[in-house]
Amino acid sequence: MEIFTDIYLGDSKEKLKSLSDNSVDLIVTSPPYADQRKSTYGGIHPDKYVDWFLPISEQLLRVLIPTGTFILNIKEKVVDGERSTYVMELILAMRKQGWFWTEEFIWHKKNSYPGKWPNRFRDSWERLLQFNKDKKFNMYQEEVMVPMGDWAKNRLKNLSETDKIRDNSKVGSGFGKNISNWIDRDKAYPTNVLHLATECNNKNHSAAFPEELPEWFIKLFTKQNDTVLDPFMGSGTTLIVANRMKRNSIGIDIVPEYYEMVRKQLQPVELYLLEPKVKYEKTKSERRITVR
Amino acid sequence: MEIFTDIYLGDSKEKLKSLSDNSVDLIVTSPPYADQRKSTYGGIHPDKYVDWFLPISEQLLRVLIPTGTFILNIKEKVVDGERSTYVMELILAMRKQGWFWTEEFIWHKKNSYPGKWPNRFRDSWERLLQFNKDKKFNMYQEEVMVPMGDWAKNRLKNLSETDKIRDNSKVGSGFGKNISNWIDRDKAYPTNVLHLATECNNKNHSAAFPEELPEWFIKLFTKQNDTVLDPFMGSGTTLIVANRMKRNSIGIDIVPEYYEMVRKQLQPVELYLLEPKVKYEKTKSERRITVR
DNA sequence: GTTCCGCATGAATCGATAG
DNA sequence: ACTATCGATTCATGCGGAA
């Protein structure tokens, strides 16, 4: 079976209209937060955020299959010493739009931005909001309850001794870098708290999330040959992971530089010759890339 | 200085009226969650939760000093496969009432209740909402500093003497970062994610939280001889911790059994003879208990 | 080939300074 | 007065070069 990867350059609100109804199994995305990333995305004022997002989520509701899931990564910022409320207002508005708010996962960012202030500690968590069209949805819990797969084995054999020690010292549950827990264990029961560090190895994108994040949700909510959508693909982490996991994927971004970057990364043959470290050669021959 | 502990039996909304304006330095409480614990509190329907809570928070706003803090432990429950939104509606309503929503801490419950559901994982976190009357409030950050990650210890202890000298000179010339500041430091400021286990040995109270939770906030937001209030004291954890930490405390509960339980636990002399393990004898002679 | 160390760098926030 | 920009603060992580 052939896996496709479609990427679009343009405004999500418009480009999404070209997708068919009920054609996507999972949406995983991290939209620009309010008043962040002004240089690249222009920055949306917190007061206007809900109005800006609702037309997009309306399209997402249309293209998602009834048993599909929408994972939204977002966090409100502090404005004038107080937390903004636009995320809560967005949840309330999306429920009126027809979404079910089924769960809120917590992404605990172990390496949060440093700093010290007289009345505030470092913000080290983000919301991962789960929305569904229907109260019955596909969920493959076994896939994430058995983390001792090839992935973990590969990781473990390459772990240096200091890494093992460092990981041992960490307290944590669920999944993530607490790999040492898995050595003597076949099963880990995940919870709705995810412990991951943000990735520092920049891909020329300021806000890339770690590959483990989309990987976990793709495992949990899709099977092979399903289709994953990221309407704010950025550096394309979600698409690359989906491709490696043999899921079809669709990505949209309004920034030409990101679009170009993802396009180049997904071109299999040419870059394979130029790039010494090609990560995803296993699925290379199966991929079909469409650029529009 | 004498420490007092006042406990009241009755409805918080009414009993709070007997407290003076600006008389409490910190409020830490975990109110009955909507539709939970029906047998003891009668259960408040999610749709009526905000209306039920606002008269109480109005009193709390009155009795709190301007530089005081209100910590509200709450988590919406899942109703018919979907998360209720009453917590978000409550935050929005309390802001209109005059509260500032300063921060949301995450309490990560490391040993959350085990279980498996077809479309849901174990819920292992709760919200700890911080509200303030004023954007300037008392906060004693040094009191809750935590040991630094192994990173610093392993690296800094191996700093050569020349490195130290070089770094010192950098400070003088204004270049580089002041590494020498870090040499004697093994502690770092915490983040807004708290990792605590729930207490297994509950005290006949269905929703007792671990002592570390009120302890952390009492350390962070009060000093000795300040006054801590818990308008839903339950088994009295907040009061007991406050007393041990030499803070005055006020507790209210509508359930006679909890009231009696806390009263007995706080009576110093009689119980001292009966109970082999008295935890708080250090402050015993200083305590004054008022029962109304 | 490992292990160790130096260093850059974040979806941050506040307070001061400038227009 | 009100907004825009800038510097200071701080710590976990990964990478590259050195031992």
Query: How does pLDDT run across A141-179, given as a tens digit for each residue?
Result: 989 874 443 344 334 433 333 333 333 333 333 333 344
B100 CA, D13 C1': Å apart: 34
Q: Which pLDDT does position A175 carry in this prediction?
A: 38
B187: β partners: B147
pLDDT band of B172, cuts 50, 70, 90 = very low
pLDDT band of B281, cuts 50, 70, 90 = very low
A73 CA, C17 C1': Å apart: 36
Of residues B4 and A280, more confidence is placed in: B4
Residue type, B268: P
Domain tally, chain B: 1
Q: Which pLDDT does position B123 carry in this prediction?
A: 93
pLDDT band of B45, cuts 50, 70, 90 = confident
Query: Does B251 fall in a domain?
Result: yes
Of residues A210 and B217, more confidence is placed in: B217
Contacts of B114 in chain A (CB under 8 A): 189
- Which residues in range 233-292 of chain A are in contact with strand C, contact meaning CB within 7 A of any of its atoms? none
The predicted model scores a pTM of: 0.86
Of residues A210 and B88, more confidence is placed in: B88
Query: Does A36 fall in a domain?
Result: yes
DSSP states of A179-206: GGGGTT-S----BSEEEEPPP-S--S-T
- Cβ separation B121–A192 shorter than 8 A: yes
Q: Which residue is closest, via its CA, to the C1' of C6? A: B155
Query: Does B268 fall in a domain?
Result: no
The dihedral through the CA atoms of A96, A102, A108, A109 has a sign that is negative
Q: Which of A83-92, A183-192, B62-71, B167-176 has the lowest mean pLDDT?
A: B167-176
Highest mean pLDDT out of A208-212, A280-284, B234-238? B234-238
Residue B261 predicted with pLDDT over 60: yes
- Cβ separation A116–B189 shorter than 8 A: yes
Query: Does A265 fall in a domain?
Result: no
* Strand C bases with any atom < 7 A from protein Cβ: 2-6, 8-15
Query: Does A261 fall in a domain?
Result: no
- Cβ separation A101–B83 shorter than 8 A: yes
Q: State the residue range of the domain holding A105.
A: 19-145+190-255
Whether residue A7 contacts residue A240, with contact meaning beta carbons closer than 8 Å, is answered with no
Whether residue B26 contacts residue B67, with contact meaning beta carbons closer than 8 Å, is answered with no
A111 CB below 7 A from strand C atoms: yes
Average pLDDT over residues A50-63: 97
- Scanning every strand, the nucleotide with its C1' closest to A83's CA turns out to be C13
B239: domain CATH number is 3.40.50.150
Average pLDDT over residues B206-218: 86
Whether residue B156 contacts residue B43, with contact meaning beta carbons closer than 8 Å, is answered with no
Summarize pLDDT for A93-120 with one digit per residue, the tens. Answer: 999 999 999 999 999 999 999 999 999 9
A160 CB below 7 A from strand C atoms: yes
A168 CA, C3 C1': Å apart: 18
Q: Which pLDDT does position A161 carry in this prediction?
A: 34
Interstrand relation of B24-29 and B227-230 (parallel, antiparallel or unpaired): parallel
**Mean pLDDT, rounded, of chain A:** 81
* Strand D bases with any atom < 7 A from protein Cβ: 8-15
Whether residue B155 contacts residue B107, with contact meaning beta carbons closer than 8 Å, is answered with no
Q: What crossing angle do the helices spanning A49-63 and A86-97 adopt, rounded to 10°?
A: 40
Query: Does A153 fall in a domain?
Result: no
Helices then strands (H, E): number in chain A? 11, 11
Highest mean pLDDT out of A90-99, B106-115, B266-275? A90-99
Contacts of A171 in chain B (CB under 8 A): 110, 195
- Scanning every strand, the nucleotide with its C1' closest to A112's CA turns out to be D12
The dihedral through the CA atoms of A30, A34, A37, A43 has a sign that is positive
A165 CB below 7 A from strand C atoms: no
Query: Does A75 fall in a domain?
Result: yes
Whether residue A217 contacts residue A186, with contact meaning beta carbons closer than 8 Å, is answered with no
A200 CA, D14 C1': Å apart: 7
Q: Which pLDDT does position A102 carry in this prediction?
A: 98
A245 min Cα distance to partner chain B (Å): 22
Residue B120 predicted with pLDDT over 70: yes
H-helix or E-strand spanning residue A252: strand A248-253
Q: Which residue of B has its CA nearest to A95?
A: B85
- Cβ separation A101–B85 shorter than 8 A: yes
Interstrand relation of A24-29 and A3-9 (parallel, antiparallel or unpaired): unpaired
**Mean pLDDT, rounded, of chain B:** 82
H-helix or E-strand spanning residue B54: helix B49-63
H-helix or E-strand spanning residue A62: helix A49-63
B190 min Cα distance to partner chain A (Å): 7
Contacts of A174 in chain B (CB under 8 A): 124
CA distance A26 to B227: 51
Q: Which pLDDT does position A287 carry in this prediction?
A: 57
Q: Which residue is closest, via its CA, to the C1' of C10? A: A113
Q: Which pLDDT does position B111 carry in this prediction?
A: 78
Whether residue B53 contacts residue B29, with contact meaning beta carbons closer than 8 Å, is answered with no
Average pLDDT over residues B204-209: 62
Residue of A79, A130, A173, A216 to mutate, testing the B interface (most B Cβ within 10 Å of its Cβ): A173
Of B85, B110, B119, the CB nearest to A173: B110
With CA atoms as reference, report the closest residue to B261 among B9, B22, B3: B9
Residue A180 predicted with pLDDT over 90: no
Residue B165 predicted with pLDDT over 60: no
- Scanning every strand, the nucleotide with its C1' closest to A38's CA turns out to be C11
Q: Which residue of B has its CA nearest to A80?
A: B135
Of A81, A95, A169, the CB nearest to B85: A95
Query: Does B285 fall in a domain?
Result: no
- Cβ separation A108–B110 shorter than 8 A: no
Whether residue A281 contacts residue A37, with contact meaning beta carbons closer than 8 Å, is answered with no
Average pLDDT over residues B58-79: 96
DSSP states of B178-216: -THHHHT--EE--BSEEEEPPPSS--S-TTPPPTHHHHH
Q: Which pLDDT does position B206 carry in this prediction?
A: 53
Residue A183 predicted with pLDDT over 50: no
A203 CA, D14 C1': Å apart: 13
- Cβ separation B80–A135 shorter than 8 A: yes
Q: Which residue of B has its CA nearest to A167?
A: B150
B24: β partners: B64
CA distance A175 to A161: 20
The CA-CA-CA angle for residues B231, B122, A179, to 5°, reads 120
Average pLDDT over residues B277-287: 47
